[in-house]
Structures are given as C-alpha cells and as structure tokens.
Structure 1
Amino acid sequence: MNVLMVDDHVMFLQGIKNLLSVLVPELRVETAGDIAHAAQLVQATDFDLVLLDWHLNATDGAESIRLLRETGCTARVVVLSGETSAALIRQSVELGAAGFIPKMYSSEMMVAALRHVLAGRIFLPSETSQAHWEEVAPAVDPRVAGLTARQMDVYRAAARGLPNKLIARQLNIAESTVKAHLTAVYGALGVRNRTEAAYQASREGLRID
C-alpha cells in the first residue's frame, strides 16, 4: 500500500510516519510539506491513501482536496486537523474526504483510528467533541447486503470521495450510469446524498478500498 502524508508540521509528520512504520512495516510512505509537492507526487505514483493536514500554510483543506482530484488522484483522502468542529468534519466529507482524524488524539487513539483507516474503512469522530473512541465491530446491514455488486462499487468509490466523473472513468461506465447507481444506493440506504452515505459507511464499518 502506498501512503502519502501531507503536513507542514515536520514533527507531527515524522511522528505519524513512525506510527505507520510500526503498524504496517511494509507500507511505502511518502511525505510532502505542501500541496504543490503533493500534487507532483500523486502524478508520479498511484497512492492508495492520502493523509492530509487541513490547515496547510499555503492553502486550506478544501483547496487541497480540489487540487488533488484535479490531478486525477483516486486515493482515499483522510483529513487530519487540530480543529474538530462538527461543521469542519461535515465540510470535509462533503468535499470528498473518506475520513477525519483529530490531531488532538492521544497516541493510542491515533493508532486505533489509523488501524481503522488502513483496514479500508472510514473513520469519523462524533460530530461533537469526544473524550475517547474505541473500535466496535459493525453489524451487517441488510440494506447494504441487498445492493448489487456494481452499486457497491459505485458506493465505495463515492464514499472514498471520488467525483462522478472519476468514478465513471475508474469503472469504465457512463457518468449518467454512476448517477443512476447512486440514486439506487441512496434509496436503499435511506439517505439523501453522498455526505449522509459516507456517515452511513462510517457507522457500518464499510470497507472502501
């Protein structure tokens, strides 16, 4: 698995890199201190996961995610931030982030969150401040089990934050077909949009890799 970490705080960047090297020694980890360098790296390498600091010196998370997607990056993007307001968490998901990990977490909580992400699932904290978090094995939702294989492919891609155009290109289907599958997925799950679908995926522990 190829992982890219983008953060302009060198100490935090090195700390997360050390954690990842302990969790999964075979990971290939690249680092970037700004989004311009990150964009260059994603053009040269197919990354599976991007851990992105929301507050970079030259840009914010919204612009960073947009730039990464414009380069054709299809990796899961997980936001890391010292700010943990409900509004920011929701904005991250709306912009296509496949997860959100607060920087304020203790080392144990950070490891647990990273394990969750590395297992291919979405990690989202509660929408209000939380003192602790522990992983709970999800129950299988029959609504998910009832989706077709192609609908699940589209659901996973949308949960990873990919726009419809990239989903269509990745799955070699028409963009109109992507929209039709998403409509069916939202109907089956009882949600209205991909933001609610991402929260659903987080609650159910859906693998999106």
Structure 2
Amino acid sequence: MNDPLIRIALVDDHALIREGVRVLLEAVEHYRVVGEAGSAEEAVTLIERERPDVVLMDIGLKDVSGLELTATLTRRHPWLRVLILSMYSDRQYVRQSLQAGAAGYVLKDATSREIIAAIKALAVGGRYYSGALAEALTGCTSTPEAVLTPRESQILQMMAQGLNNKAMARELAISVRTVESHRLNIRRKLDIEKPADLMRQAMQHSGQRCHPCND
C-alpha cells in the first residue's frame, strides 16, 4: 500500500529560505508543497484555500509573530499541524509555540533528514522537537516508551528517520538479525501487532521524547 500524500505549506518571509525548503521537500516521495506565504495575510488565505496537512512556520515574520499566526490558524483550523522552523533555540519559544498550538519545533540548522522526519511525525499525529532542543530541556515528563531499553529507543528513533533494518544494522554496527530482535521486543513491550502501528509509534516516539515543562 502506498504512503498517503503529505501536503505541506511554507510560511516564511524570506523567499530564498522558502525556495530551499521547497527544493528539499519536493525531492521526497509522497511530499508535496502546495503553496508558500511570506506574510500572515497570505498564510491565512493559503491555509483556507489549500487545507494542507502540515505548515512549516517561521517565528520571525515581518508583519506579525509566527507564534501569533500559529495561534490564529490552529484556532480556526483545529486539524492543522504546525511545525515551527526557526533559528531561535531558546526553550521559552518552544513553550510559547506549544501554547499557540504548534505540534513541533525544529531549528533551521537541522539536517534535511530531521526536517523530513519531523514532518512525517506531525502528519501521523505525533510531535517532534529538534534533538538539540530535546536535550536542552529539563524536567521532562516520562512517556509510555520509558519501558524500552536505550537501544530499543534508539531503534524507534531511527525508524522514524526512515532507516530500514539493514541501514540501522550498519549504523549501529550490529547484525540485521539483532535489529529484528529489537523490533520484536519493542512490539511486545508496547503491545503492537501491526508493522504500520509500529511505524506510527516510532513517529510519535520521535516527537514525544521530551516535553517542555514549567521552570
């Protein structure tokens, strides 16, 4: 069965950045950029017209804060998944983005693989934060995946990045059979039967490793 098409909108007041992100995403199978906006007014019109699955949102828009725009859009369209793509790594911005209704936060210096994984995580209902942000945040709540070993958790993260068993084995310097064994243990511990459900859990695990907490 083919993966569903993920429709994406780009909101950033720098045309060059939008162009770079568009080129990156349009090279990914099942990803389609349905429109771009350089201002809040353009973004509102774009979302209402195209109804994308995921919006990549910059914080520093010229006419209004991207966080304010996120709050407006998610209030009008509760189904909308907003991924903040920003140069700001301050965790205060992460908390504010959550309050505004964003489902993820990725830094602009993230790798292309991480941006692609973040979009995929949001598209299936999960959350995603850049690894650097997740490591910097303290006082995080535990997740259902806490029962997993560090290696099993790593396997789930790599699955969310789109790596297959052979690639994971090569990356971790272990055998393919060992990877398969880890995957079997993950399914058993999390009571998952279908491979598709395991992938969905991997996406959610990737975005829910760490949640911003109050100071």
Question: Could you say which TM-score interval applies, normalised by the shorter chain?
Answer: 0.5 to 0.7
User: Could you list the runs of 5+ residues in structure 2 that have no partner in the other structure?
Assistant: 1-5, 138-153, 161-185, 193-203, 211-215
1:139-190 per-position Cα deviation (integer Å, ceiling 9, x unaligned)? 5697998xxxxxxxxxxxxxxxxxxxxxxxxxxxxxxxxxxxxxxxxxxxxx
Residue aligning to 1:186:
none
Residue aligning to 1:81:
86
Aligned residue identity for 1:43: E
1:203 paired residue among 181, 197, 209:
209
2:51 pairs with 1:51: no
| 3-state SS in 2 of match to 1:69 | helix
114-123 or 50-59: bigger deviation: 114-123
TM-score (norm: length of structure 1): 0.58
| 3-state SS in 1 of match to 2:89 | coil
2:97 pairs with 1:92: yes
Q: What is the distance in 2 between the residues matched to 1:26 and 1:136? A: 20
TM-score (norm: length of structure 2): 0.57
2:128 pairs with 1:128: no
The answer to whether the 8 A contact 1:17-1:29 is kept is no
Q: What is the distance in 2 between the residues matched to 1:117 and 1:25? A: 14
Q: What is the distance in 2 between the residues matched to 1:58 and 1:144? A: 48
Aligned residue identity for 1:31: E
- How many percent of aligned residue pairs carry the same amino acid? 26
Q: What is the distance in 2 between the residues matched to 1:36 and 1:91? A: 21
CA deviation after TM superposition for structure 1 residue 102, in Å: 0.4
Q: What is the distance in 1 between the residues matched to 2:191 and 2:71? A: 29
Q: What is the distance in 1 between the residues matched to 2:191 and 2:81? A: 21
1:30 paired residue among 11, 31, 35:
35
Aligned residue identity for 1:68: L
Residue aligning to 2:68:
63
2:9 paired residue among 4, 9, 28:
4
Q: Which is higher, the Rg of structure 1 or of structure 2?
A: 2
Residue aligning to 1:72:
77
CA deviation after TM superposition for structure 1 residue 119, in Å: 5.6
Pair 13,201 (structure 1): closer, same or farther in 2 beyond 3 Å: closer
CA deviation after TM superposition for structure 1 residue 97, in Å: 0.7
Pair 19,120 (structure 1): closer, same or farther in 2 beyond 3 Å: farther
CA deviation after TM superposition for structure 1 residue 94, in Å: 2.4
- Runs ≥4 in structure 1, deviation > 2 angstroms? 69-74, 106-121, 133-145, 198-201
Aligned residue identity for 1:14: E
Pair 140,202 (structure 1): closer, same or farther in 2 beyond 3 Å: farther
